[in-house]
Each structure stands twice: as C-alpha cells, then as structure tokens.
Amino acid sequence: MSFCKNCGSELAENEKFCGNCGTPLSGPVPNTPNPNTRYMDSNSKPVSNINFNNLQVYLAEILNLTVNMITKPISTILKGSRTLKKETIFLLYGMLSIMFGLLNMWNIKAITVRAASSSRGLSLSIGIEDIFEEISSLIPYGKIFFYTLLFFLISIAILFIANHLIGKYIFKLSCNPMNIFTIAVCSSIPFILGFLALIILSYFSATIGFIGIFIGIVISLLCLFMGMTSELVLSEDKMAFIIPISYLLMFLADYGLLKIILKS
C-alpha cells in the first residue's frame, strides 16, 4: 500500500496520478503548502508576518543609547552610535521630535501659569513670561506641538544635510550618510534631556532650570563636534568652522519657517 506524498491519500497500484489531488506519482513532487504561511494573491507569494519582537529590540537599543548618552556621551557618540540599526535611528528621530513637541507644550503651559499667578507690578519691561503668555493666547496648544515637532525635524535634517554636503563636495570626502544622520540625531538627546530638566527645575527655581538646559546644549554641541570630526576625518580646526556654519543654516531655515507660521 502506498500513499500520495503531496496530500497523503491512499493510492491504488499502477496509478500514475493521485486520484485526490492529481499529483504525478513519478517525477518531482510539488512543495506541500505550509498551513502557517499567509498568501497575498493567487500567485501564492508568501507574506511574512509582522514581528513585533523587532520593535522591542529597537526600543531596547534606544533605552540603552539614552542611558549611555547620559553617563558617557562622547564615547557613545564616537563608538556606540555606529552599531545602531537603521530602523532604530529613524524611530528615535520620530520619538525625539514628538517628545520635543510635548515638552514645549508643557513648558509654555508652565510659564503661562507662573506668569498668571505672579504679580507683575508696574514694570514696563516685557519679560519672557509675557512673551510665552502672548504666544499661548494666539496659537492653540495643538499647533504649538505640531510646529515644535516640525522645527525639530527640520533642524536635525539641516544639520545632517549641511555636514554631509560640506564633507562630500567641499572637502571631497567619502562620507557615509547614515553615520552622519545618526550623529545628528543622537547628539540631540542631551539637549532634549536638558530641556526636560529646564521645565522640571523651573518649578523650584528658574535659574537652576536654565543651568539644566545650558548643560544639555553644551553636551549636544560637543557630541556633534566630536562625532562629525571622527566621521568626516577632519581636523578640529576645520570642524570649528563647519559646525557653526551648519548651525547657521539650521537657524536660517527655522527662522524662515517661523516667518511663514507667523504670517499664517
């Protein structure tokens, strides 16, 4: 007694084809369909299932990177950031932009609350609280979030493009665009954390809060400087001019976007 190798049906003697599935009993047997495989069309092209374990890997990398950027920022930007997956970097890019938008909403809300609860006296000078209170009265918080997110996305993109183009076309260097983009994104982590420290510490003292953001900005600048110097293989003297130029281009782009927003 014999059985079909394709469907398992019992076969009669001297049969050339399976009476159940029609499989030839001589020659190669077609592949048996895997019941665990999904198909996207009649051509039976398998579709790989979404593996959510990959997301856990990306988030774990982001968490580990953030901790390292706090404890050892320079060595992390020089070595650790190069080992990150491409998907991790783009996910981090989006997460940081969203975080920056949320933090700015929180910051403006906290400043306007403090401004409303404090006595202004008869001073004719305009303080920073008055400016933020005016902004919050003119622009809804949803738009503040969106515009802040957009500012962050554009700022990182300009830093990446400026350093890449300067290295490639001015100094004729063989640049790895993904490494440059990774450095631009990762170097912004201390700034975001410093901004968070600014908001939290300002509830106790505005001066201490500004110390937090100052430290974050300085570390971010150092990380960007050291990371780009290492990646572009340029001297510190040349990078001392390139970094300010890239920041100038970033500020010009942000200023142009700000003018468009205010006009609208």
Q: What is the pLDDT of residue 20?
A: 67
139 and 235 housed in the same domain: yes
Q: Over the stretch 12-39, which tens digit does the pLDDT of each residue have? A: 777 766 766 667 766 544 444 444 443 3
Instruction: pLDDT band for 116, please (50, 70, 90 cuts).
Output: low
Q: What is the pLDDT of residue 261?
A: 78
242 and 259 housed in the same domain: yes
* C-alpha dist (Å) from residue 134 to 123, 195, 198, 256, 261: 17, 21, 20, 21, 15
In percent, the amount of the chain with pLDDT more than 70 equals: 70
Q: What is the pLDDT of residue 54?
A: 84
Last residue of a domain, one of 14, 30, 49: 49
91 and 15 housed in the same domain: no
215 and 175 housed in the same domain: yes
Q: Which amino acid would we find at residue 15?
A: E
Q: What is the pLDDT of residue 138?
A: 55
Q: Say what the pTM is.
A: 0.71
Q: What is the pLDDT of residue 118?
A: 59
43 and 68 housed in the same domain: no
Q: For the chain, what is the domain count?
A: 2
Q: Over the stretch 213-234, which tens digit does the pLDDT of each residue have? A: 999 999 999 999 999 999 888 8
Range of the domain at 30: 1-49
Q: What is the pLDDT of residue 264?
A: 67
Q: What is the pLDDT of residue 126?
A: 41
Cβ of 225: how many Cβ atoms within 10 Å? 19
For the cut 50, the answer to whether the pLDDT of residue 40 exceeds it is no
174 and 193 housed in the same domain: yes
* C-alpha dist (Å) from residue 187 to 75, 118, 138, 224: 12, 36, 32, 5
- 117-127 average pLDDT score: 46
The residue behind tokens 């996305």 is 153
32 and 60 housed in the same domain: no
39 and 76 housed in the same domain: no
Specify the pairing of strand 10-11 against strand 38-39. unpaired
Q: What is the pLDDT of residue 137?
A: 53
Mean pLDDT of the chain: 79
List alpha helices for the chain, DSSP H.
Answer: 53-71, 73-78, 86-117, 128-138, 141-165, 177-186, 189-202, 206-232, 236-263
User: CB of 168 within 8 A of CB of 151?
Assistant: no
* C-alpha dist (Å) from residue 172 to 42, 54, 232: 51, 37, 10
Instruction: pLDDT band for 51, please (50, 70, 90 cuts).
Output: low
Q: What is the 3-state secondary structure (H, E, C) of 31-80?
A: CCCCCCCEECCCCCCEECCCCCHHHHHHHHHHHHHHHHHHHCHHHHHHCH
Q: What is the pLDDT of residue 105?
A: 87
3-state secondary structure (DSSP) of residue 10: strand
119 and 29 housed in the same domain: no
Question: Residue 24 carries which DSSP code?
Answer: B
Q: Over the stretch 151-210, which tens digit does the pLDDT of each residue have? A: 999 999 999 999 999 888 888 888 889 999 999 999 999 999 999 999 999 888 878 889
91 and 1 housed in the same domain: no
31 and 59 housed in the same domain: no
Tokens encoding 127:
């303080």
25 and 80 housed in the same domain: no
Last residue of a domain, one of 49, 64, 83: 49
Q: What is the pLDDT of residue 48?
A: 44
